[in-house]
Amino acid sequence: MYLDKLRLDGRVAVVTGGGQGIGAACARALGEAGARVVVAELMPERHEACVADLRALGIEAEGLTLDVTRSAAVDEAATGIVDRLGRVDILVNNAGVAKSDVPAEETSDEHWRFHMDVNLDGVFWCCRAFGRPMLDRGQGAIVNIGSMSGFIVNKPQPQSFYNASKAAVHHLTKSLAAEWGRRGVRVNAVAPTYIETPLTAFGIEENPDMYATWLEMTPMGRVGQPHEIASVVHFLASDAASLMTGAIVLADGGYTCW
């Protein structure tokens, strides 16, 4: 009975930025639980490779080329998926960017806009577009990938644009949860610590001093792996989290304890 709540058979899940890193792990987790997965990615070659991996595992998957910053394209994608597959049950807003280590006083307009466009606006466009058919059906679960950076200020790399964008994602999550709570659509977020993906290579692989600081500041003394976020996303997307909405779930190795 309890394990059944984690099954996602017959459900359609969309994962943005799902071609690599945390998104690819989410696609696999949801697919293993029985969902049919749509991997929405900027670069076609990336979703194609990811979909091939998922299919090799026996998961029903398909790719979609999508730039989440283009609201009209996001609307079209949502309509197209509902027309073809009949429904969208789960949306994971994972697409995000972090070109960190730029001091606030040296941050250009373009740099600021780039992060807000993808990390905040893109999340809203997707929530709005995929939320509409969920509201029509009175059923759906959205999981936004926030960050511990929405709670704390990272050290030592300056990244005000990223931190602000993720704090906004957390409050957007609560705002939508409040608006849609009585209408069957749950909206939650996961706030990860540093996870080993291409996004954090600038620290983990290229800057030993920075990486040492990250580990020093983390009670568990390590960074996370994508599957450790995917399992939280899977839980939040499933009926096991049926009473949860507006939650920002930290998966941070204890980072925010200090």
Reply yes or no on whether 162 is catalytic.
yes
Contact 165, 120 (CB under 8 A): yes
- DSSP assignments along 66-125, one per residue: --TT-HHHHHHHHHHHHHHHS---EEEE----------GGG--HHHHHHHIIIIIIHHHH
20 scored as a contact of ligand NDP (CB under 6 A): yes
Q: List the x/- string, 51-90, binding to ligand NDP by CB under 6 A.
A: ---------------xxxx---------------------
Say how many C-beta atoms besides its own lie within 10 A of residue 109's C-beta: 7
Contacting residue, 12, 13, 17, 28, with ligand NDP by CB under 6 A: 17
192 scored as a contact of ligand NDP (CB under 6 A): yes
**How far apart, in whole angstroms, are the C-alpha atoms of residue 104 and residue 226?**
29
**5 vs 222 by CB, closer to ligand NDP:** 222
97 scored as a contact of ligand NDP (CB under 6 A): yes
Residue 131 CB, nearest approach to ligand NDP (Å): 18
**How does DSSP classify residue 32?**
H
**Which is the catalytic residue, given 2, 162, 194, 255?**
162
150 scored as a contact of ligand NDP (CB under 6 A): no
Return the H-helix or E-strand segment holding 256. none
- Please report, as a single letter, which amino acid is at residue 237: A
238 scored as a contact of ligand NDP (CB under 6 A): no
Residue 74 CB, nearest approach to ligand NDP (Å): 9
110 scored as a contact of ligand NDP (CB under 6 A): no
**How far apart, in whole angstroms, are the C-alpha atoms of residue 159 and residue 241?**
32
Contacting residue, 197, 218, 238, 245, with ligand NDP by CB under 6 A: 197
Residue 249 CB, nearest approach to ligand NDP (Å): 12
Contact 224, 196 (CB under 8 A): yes
**How far apart, in whole angstroms, are the C-alpha atoms of residue 213 and residue 156?**
7
> What are the backbone angles phi and psi of residue 148, rounded to the nearest 5°?
-60, -20
122 scored as a contact of ligand NDP (CB under 6 A): yes
43 scored as a contact of ligand NDP (CB under 6 A): yes
22 scored as a contact of ligand NDP (CB under 6 A): yes
Long-range contact pairs involving 113-117 (C-beta distance under 8 Å, separation at least 24): 115/161, 115/162, 115/165, 116/161, 116/164, 116/165, 117/69
Q: Please list the active-site residues.
A: 162
Could you list the residues that contact ligand NDP (CB under 6 A)?
Answer: 16-17, 19-23, 41-43, 46, 66-69, 94-98, 118, 122, 145, 147, 192, 194-195, 197-200
